Amino acid sequence: MLRLRTRVLPTRPVLHVKAFTDRALSSSVSTADKRAFCVEGELTKLPPGTIPAVGVEAQVSHSFSLQDTRAFALLSGDNNPLHVDAEFALEHAAESKPVVQGLLSASLFATIFGRTVPGAVYVKQDLRWRAPLLVGELVVARIRVVRVRKRFVECETTCTKSDGGVVVVDGHATLLLPPPANQQAIPS
**CATH number of the domain where residue 156 is located:** 3.10.129.10
The predicted structure's pLDDT at residue 22 = 44
Q: Per residue in 37-72, pLDDT tens?
A: 677 777 776 676 778 899 999 999 999 999 999 999
Sheet of 15-22, strand order? 2-8, 15-22, 27-30
71 and 113 part of one domain:
no
User: How far apart are the C-alpha atoms of 122 and 113, rounded to whole Å?
Assistant: 8
User: How far apart are the C-alpha atoms of 186 and 56, rounded to whole Å?
Assistant: 10
Number of domains observed in the structure of the chain: 2
- Reading phi first (left if > 0) and then psi (alpha if -120 to 50, else beta), residue 16 is in beta
Going by their DSSP bridges, the two strands 152-161 and 2-8 should be labelled as: unpaired
Q: Which domain covers residue 157, as residue numbers?
A: 34-64+101-188
* Beta bridge partners of residue 19, listed in sequence order: 5, 30
The predicted structure's pLDDT at residue 36 = 59
The predicted structure's pLDDT at residue 182 = 54
Q: What is the pTM of this model?
A: 0.75
79 and 148 part of one domain:
no
91 and 50 part of one domain:
no
